[in-house]
Structure 1
């Protein structure tokens, strides 16, 4: 059976399309984040698939809303014993009251927070966010340099910030790439996927056939990495599935 893969975005929703030797078009919405996959007959073109998906949008959004309402990681209270994630691994927080600056250290399966007594959870969460940024600042230059060499591209400017709507973003005019602080919680393969995804936008603005071809050529397992990124524990923020997609 011959198949051909395509990737399109419809009303802000990413769609994986597989063309097959079948009679009817099938649309599926899958956990954990409501990714949409379409199996379409070979006789269909992209416009026909797009029209079919648009007609089913109310049902698709209903299914995705159910996944959105699934249990998420609650807001961190910053107390000893709760779970935190770094590079895809879970650590148990241990708080040690000690005079001096607030800082974190990884000790085995523990994330140890040294902090002066009396600091509230809001300030400790802010300190944790800053620590995640430090982890990314340490790792990103190595990952970017590696892929600059592989792709023959240069990244002149990149930054890290909290983003509610994207894992990463790329300004093709200024070549400025921005990475979400939350990536420090995910497996390194996921960070590498976002780096390559955003650098590929230097060559192709959208997510059409050329973008897919470029991604397939430089990172054949990018779909697995993307699904891994979206399947790992979610933060407390109310992010929708499309808001968690890369640009």
Structure 2
């Protein structure tokens, strides 16, 4: 679908309401619509949201290109909201990662390991770090919100910080959250747990968020700096 100079991808799904997303890295626009909904209704929806679309697409277009890590000495990498300098250390044993002097992330790998192997070692370490932080937060907020998630899992996601599968009561968390501050991680956990009370992003959902976490909008804004509209 074309609205002015903006091309919009329209996908039909088994859903009740339309969902609009602005996707990284280049501001691609996507609308998910219920089966059998006619294109004129979808076009009207897009036109009503046009100013919002243009505003958020502009943020993507103004962004610098996403950093492409080479996993070499001197790069800045993040853990729990803090920046560390990467040091690659030649190591004959099993690959591992160590925080050194609260300044460095030491990546201990064989000297012949290529970029993809170094990336995997770092990401496996991020996964373990996130596993250490999440259980306590989920336990805390399940008690406050009055819900229970049957399980939670971690995966790499391109367009969301988290998601919630309502029927199995399963929460998914983006691996990238390992790099974010505790309160940003906590916000995503609260967001997904609240979906067990209200699946949609409607006024009821927002009222729950306001009650449980009054500063959630500021956490969301910080979380999405450079990643606009990852979590709507």
Class of the TM-score when normalised by the shorter of the 2 chains: 0.7 to 0.9
How many residues are treated as equivalent by the alignment? 196
Unmatched segments (≥5 aa) in structure 2: 1-16, 28-42
Number of the residue aligned with 1:138? 132
Structure 1 residue 11, shift from structure 2 partner: 4.4
**Which of 145, 148, 153 is the equivalent residue of 2:142?**
148
Structure 1 residue 110, shift from structure 2 partner: 0.7
Number of the residue aligned with 2:36? none
Alignment CA distance shift 1:200-1:137 (3 Å): same
What secondary structure sits across from 2:224 in the alignment? helix
Write out aligned runs for 1:182-193 (5 A): 182-193=176-187
Structure 1 residue 53, shift from structure 2 partner: 7.8
Encode CA deviations 1:63-121: one digit per residue, 9 max, x unaligned. Answer: 43332131144111000001101111111101110110111111121111111111001
Number of the residue aligned with 1:55? 47
* Bigger RCO of structures 1 and 2 (CA < 8 A, at least 6 apart): 1
After superposing the two structures, state which structure 1 stretch, 68-77 or 96-105, moved more.
68-77
Conserved in 2, the CA contact under 8 Å of 1:10 and 1:54?
A: no
TM-score, scaled relative to structure 1 = 0.73
TM-score, scaled relative to structure 2 = 0.77
Q: Which runs of 4+ in 1 moved over 2 A?
A: 51-66
Write out aligned runs for 1:190-229 (5 A): 190-229=184-223
Unmatched segments (≥5 aa) in structure 1: 1-8, 15-32, 35-50
Conserved in 2, the CA contact under 8 Å of 1:193 and 1:222?
A: yes
Instruction: Report the aligned-residue RMSD.
Output: 2.4
Encode CA deviations 1:130-185: one digit per residue, 9 max, x unaligned. Answer: 11110111111111111112122212111000111211010111101100000001
Number of the residue aligned with 1:175? 169
Number of the residue aligned with 2:10? none
Alignment CA distance shift 1:219-1:60 (3 Å): closer
Number of the residue aligned with 1:96? 89
Q: Residue 121 in 1 paired to residue 115 in 2?
A: yes
Conserved in 2, the CA contact under 8 Å of 1:132 and 1:181?
A: yes
